[in-house]
Copies of this chain bind each other. A is one copy, B any other.
Amino acid sequence: MTTELEQQIAAAQEAVTKQGDTVRSLKASAKEGKAEKSEVDAAIQKLAELKLALESKQKEFEKVTGKVSSQSKEALRAALAGVLERRMFYIPSFKIYGSVAGFYDYGPPGCAIKQNMTQVWRNHFVLEENMLEVECPAVTPEVVLKASGHVDRFTDFMVTDAVTGECFRADHLLEGHLEALLEDKKNPVSPEKAKEIRDLLAGVGELKADTMGAALQAYDVRAPGTGNAISAPFAFNLMFKTSIGPKGDMVGYLRPETAQGIFVNFRDLLYYNGGKLPFAAAQIGNSYRNEISPRAGLLRVREFTQAEIEHFVNGDDKRHPKFPLVADLRPLLYSRELQMGEEKKAAPMSLGEAVSRGIIANETLAYFIGRTWLFFCKIGVNPARMRFRQHLQHEMAHYATDCWDGEVETTYGWVECVGLADRSAYDLKAHSGMSKIDLTAFEKFPEPRMEEVVKVVPNNKELGAAFKKDQKAVKEALEALDSNAALDVKAKLESAGVATIATCDGQQFEVKASMVEIKKVTEKVTGKTYTPSVIEPSFGIGRIMYCMFEHCYYTREGDETRAVMGFKPVVAPTKATVFPLVQKPALNDLAARLSRELTAAGLSNLIDTTGNTIGKRYARTDEIGVPFAVTVDFQSVEGDGSVTLRERDSMTQVRVPAGEVAGVIRDLVDDRTTWEAVSGKYPAQKASADDE
């Protein structure tokens, strides 16, 4: 049985390939006027049908074999990709010059969706939370990215084909090789070997150059395609480098993230906010990563849009006043504990419980997890297929307190779309250290307090006599000691008579008891100076868009050839279409007037007077996910003055007075009303046989 099915699948696959060729040549003919656009569309339709037939065979195969084959996922992905490319949601950039990997153009519907999604993001985060939105350049001088660590550490390991010089990501190569070994049915590995491979796979992300090199050698990994030997892995910096100014002496990079623009502005933003903390700043903009081997469409590209928030807060108090508003939400949480457990499966848990049980480190981080979850729901990601995965301890940078990734399930597996990290005071300290500019905040106590403080009083004369030109450095080092360090020095001076002091340039000096007085005194303290902690939710807009596309894509029941992009109205690129039922001047005129009214209400719309059947028109607009359709008929101009308004997903229809239709759609798009409410208010209209 499976053999027969496999043959059918192969045949179906061939048919898809052939029809693809037909479509291409018809398009070329249409260009020269030798074929009609309708012929091209029919061929494309046929191609879609063949793809779906292939998919359905593959689904059958899965049922029989009892597992989801990777082909099936690829078929769904291919069917969706067909719609996305045909309707120009996005296409490879510079196509007429053969394209460049990792760059995509958004065509009209993609561009509109991206615009709508970022606007929802802005309303949901910036407006509702009164965040300070900024916009900073992508071109960034080296010093900024030196301070942030990107110049030294923003690298991937690369290997090259020893003969051709072709470049590969070392981790991808190793993973691919190991996965192939595990899946090899002809030469199965021993259970012990399989365990070894799985353990190695789980830790690929943590390998260093030497351990990665050893693993590649141990498994005799070779260059894909050629089978040639590969070089030892070496670090490749992912930033695009350029030069600023005419002299050529100032190195610049394209920013690899938008966050640094916010950090370097912290001082001005704090002043703008009246010196008060906590506050959040946000930035939406493009970032750049010169990926070694871009792949998977929008998921790994070299230029992409980020929306990042830096929430600055006193590290001693990470409560959030609005936390109660999200405490009862129950997103899927995939905690460290669950990841280390047997089932390895995320589970819903209320954010309130997660914080009180210490699973999420603090209220502010949990608040943003909740808000992020609500954002994903708003734009049409299926919340049952979204989870928050906590970073394992070894995945986190040493300074991070807690990190969670917002992941969405797709045909590519779980895709990281958002990173939510409590980065402590690392970023501000790094920039303060490099720029020598104070990036602290001052918390004024409600009342001054009497506090015991440790005072360090250097004896200038003694220090000068002992250290000459180094006097100043030693003095500064003594004054910079924090309370505990100062008390340590005091103890050493009292016990041994000397203590070792390190200056900021790393030199060490022996200080004697006579050179400094260290004492505890009680002082009136009006407040506290501290470097704020940062909680950073960072969104990858392109990835979120792609995941949303997968979740919104479906086919009409009973007709697998009819693809629908079930976009939420607020996200949909075109909010409504206007059709005259037949080509008559009076109907066309009213349709044109309604289109103008929709435009005046800020609603993107298309008027279709091609004379296609209503069913065909719906099929075309379903593919770009138009949520509402307005049909003008004879009744509209001669009878009751009403038009038919149809909702895409339910395919139900109501009769609405022509003058009210723009307002009704505006309210539906803005979520001020629901289709249910509209259906209750206006009389229903049966769909004609022609409709489907």
Contact = CB atoms under 8 A, between A and B. Distances in A.
Contacts of A526: 33
A437 to B, nearest CB: 4
A134 B573 CA distance: 12
A290 B245 contact: yes
A165 B442 CA distance: 45
Interface hub of A250, A442, A444 (most chain B Cβ within 10 A): A442
A165 B247 CA distance: 8
B96 A435 contact: yes
A392 B384 CA distance: 64
Chain A interface, >50% SS class: mixed
A442 B110 CA distance: 27
Contact of A105 (B104, B135, B165, B434): B135
Contacts of A274: 37
B122 A240 contact: no
A454 interface: no
A527 interface: yes
Interface in A86-115: 87-88, 91, 93-97, 100-101, 103-108, 110-112, 114-115
A275 interface: yes
Given A138-B138, A265-B95, A111 B88 contact: no
A252 to B, nearest CB: 8
A140 B96 CA distance: 13
A140 B94 contact: yes
A48 interface: no
Interface residues of A, number: 90
Contact of A247 (B30, B167, B602, B604): B167
B438 A31 contact: yes
A303 interface: yes
Contacts of A243: 240-241, 290
Interface of A: 27, 30-33, 37, 87-88, 91, 93-97, 100-101, 103-108, 110-112, 114-115, 122-123, 127-128, 130, 132-141, 143-144, 158, 165, 167, 236, 240-247, 250, 252, 254, 261, 264-265, 267-269, 271-272, 274-275, 286, 288, 290, 292, 302-303, 431, 434-435, 437-439, 442, 444, 526-527, 529, 599, 602, 604, 606
20 contacts: A32-B442, A94-B141, A94-B264, A95-B264, A100-B141, A105-B134, A105-B261, A106-B134, A106-B136, A107-B265, A112-B133, A114-B135, A127-B604, A236-B246, A240-B243, A240-B252, A242-B242, A242-B254, A243-B290, A254-B254
